[in-house]
Amino acid sequence: MRSRWRAIPRPVRILFGLAVAVFFYLLPNLAIPLIPTPDTNFSSVLFTVAVYVLVGVGLNVVIGLAGLLDLGYIGFFAVGAYSVAIFGSPASPLATKYPWLMLIPIAIALSMVSGVILGGPTLRLRGDYLAIVTLGFGEIVRLIAVNWSITKGQIGIPSVPAPPGHWGNGDPVFGIIDTRPFYWLALTVVLICMFGVKLLESSRVGRSWLAIREDEDAAELMGVPSFKFKLWAFAIGAGLGGLSGALFASRQGFINSNSFDVLTSMLFVAAVVLGGSGNLAGVTLGAVLISYLPERFRGFADKRFLVFGIALIVIMIFRPQGLIPSRRRAVELADRKHEAAEEATANV
């Protein structure tokens, strides 16, 4: 399938991609059977899906490209959300008069700083140790949100600012009732970030990430400064997580500590693993499945963790590379399986 796609002339592939993008922009206005969510506002669900896809794009940089297992990604998501709320809401004691368009870069910058603060002392760890540390980071951020007087715990922060703009009749473009503008904004951000990550993946930085993921010791011997590139991956992933959290808080208009629990962080990781880490199409599919299906089938929403847990186990057994795997990742897994088989044969 991938070879057939690459055999198609490049202009045709670009036109096809543009047609797909136009379809997604028109999706809230299309009456396609079975796709709309009967019990939830469809545009609102589409916005949530777009935010999850943006999270998947960021987490794919950390897990899929650099091979760093981050179980506390919700911490960066929370930093971005609280940055917009604390500096933009009139209910916050640290409120500023910065416009929304200035709050977003602040949220991204603070999230990236958080990534550097976490990654600096911990990225020399590998495997399970790094996963445990990042999980602890997510919990620390949640506990700060619960106990810090400025974040106000479960009481939360209301009146989180939204993007500017008004219709001709004076109503805000980014209002509470019509959520389509929020979806279109999030979709635009997703497409821009995907394009940027794709460029990074094919650059020297991306190739260094892939070398580190495949064999960090070999990459070091070849002259790749692994710590530096891992820190870049952590910071860029944290920035994208903070951006997605900022969009989420702006759409909600209110945030509290309940929005940033560890189970949500596990869902983020599940989206990447389920779809296929290292592949943007794969993580997009995983994020869509995890965020859309529970809203489409509300009767099973309470059991989604059980369902996705079972699905992950099944996929890890029969398709460990994910639903749409990265070609390079699939080759790596096949090589490791072949090496394991050879070792088993030699030991017999």
- Rounded Cα gap, residues 105 and 207, in angstroms: 27
Q: Is the pLDDT of residue 234 over 80?
A: yes
Q: Is the pLDDT of residue 136 over 70?
A: yes
Of 194-198, 284-288, 337-341, minimum mean pLDDT range: 337-341
Calculate the average pLDDT of the chain: 85
Which of 229, 291, 211, 210 is CA-nearest to residue 40?
A: 291
- Rounded Cα gap, residues 170 and 71, in angstroms: 44
What pLDDT is stored for residue 332 in this prediction? Answer: 65
Backbone φ and ψ of 47, nearest 5°: -60, -45
- Rounded Cα gap, residues 277 and 16, in angstroms: 24
Q: For residue 128, name the pLDDT band (cuts at 50, 70, 90).
A: confident
- Rounded Cα gap, residues 52 and 269, in angstroms: 11
Residue type, 250: S
For the segment 280-295, what is each residue's pLDDT rounded down to a tens digit? 888 898 888 888 877 7
- Rounded Cα gap, residues 255 and 50, in angstroms: 19
The pTM of the full predicted model, rounded to 2 decimals, is 0.89
Q: For residue 46, name the pLDDT band (cuts at 50, 70, 90).
A: very high
With beta carbons less than 8 A apart as the criterion, state whether 103 and 84 touch.
Answer: yes
What pLDDT is stored for residue 4 in this prediction? Answer: 73
What pLDDT is stored for residue 112 in this prediction? Answer: 94
Residue type, 245: G
Percentages of the chain per state (helix, strand, coil), in multiples of 5: 70, 0, 25
Per-range mean pLDDT, top range of 61-65, 104-108, 122-126, 335-339: 104-108
Three-point CA angle 205, 206, 211, nearest 5°: 100
| Of 110 and 14, more confident | 110
- Rounded Cα gap, residues 227 and 119, in angstroms: 9
Q: For residue 305, name the pLDDT band (cuts at 50, 70, 90).
A: low
Name the 3-class secondary structure at 132.
Answer: helix
What pLDDT is stored for residue 346 in this prediction? Answer: 67
What pLDDT is stored for residue 110 in this prediction? Answer: 95
Tokens of 114: 């958080």
Q: Is the pLDDT of residue 197 over 80?
A: yes
With beta carbons less than 8 A apart as the criterion, state whether 276 and 286 touch.
Answer: yes
- Rounded Cα gap, residues 71 and 94, in angstroms: 30
Of 175-179, 225-229, 318-322, minimum mean pLDDT range: 318-322
What pLDDT is stored for residue 177 in this prediction? Answer: 81
Residue type, 153: G
With beta carbons less than 8 A apart as the criterion, state whether 237 and 61 touch.
Answer: yes
Instruction: Read off the pLDDT of each residue in 124-129 and give the average, rounded to a whole number.
Output: 74
What pLDDT is stored for residue 299 in this prediction? Answer: 66
Which of 261, 225, 244, 233 is CA-nearest to residue 60?
A: 233
Three-point CA angle 325, 330, 336, nearest 5°: 145
Torsion of CA 37, 40, 43, 45, to 10 degrees: -80
What pLDDT is stored for residue 131 in this prediction? Answer: 83
- Rounded Cα gap, residues 228 and 243, in angstroms: 23
Three-point CA angle 190, 191, 195, nearest 5°: 115
Q: How many beta carbons lie within 10 A of that of residue 312, not counting itself?
A: 15
Name the 3-class secondary structure at 93.
Answer: coil
| Of 229 and 121, more confident | 229
For the segment 59-112, what is each residue's pLDDT rounded down to a tens digit? 999 988 888 888 888 999 999 999 999 999 998 888 888 899 999 999 999 999
Instruction: Read off the pLDDT of each residue in 200-216 and give the average, rounded to a whole number.
Output: 87
Percent of the chain at pLDDT above 70? 89
Tokens of 43: 């545009």
What pLDDT is stored for residue 1 in this prediction? Answer: 62
With beta carbons less than 8 A apart as the criterion, state whether 56 and 272 touch.
Answer: yes
With beta carbons less than 8 A apart as the criterion, state whether 233 and 65 touch.
Answer: yes
What pLDDT is stored for residue 86 in this prediction? Answer: 93
- Rounded Cα gap, residues 269 and 117, in angstroms: 21
Q: Is the pLDDT of residue 151 over 70?
A: yes
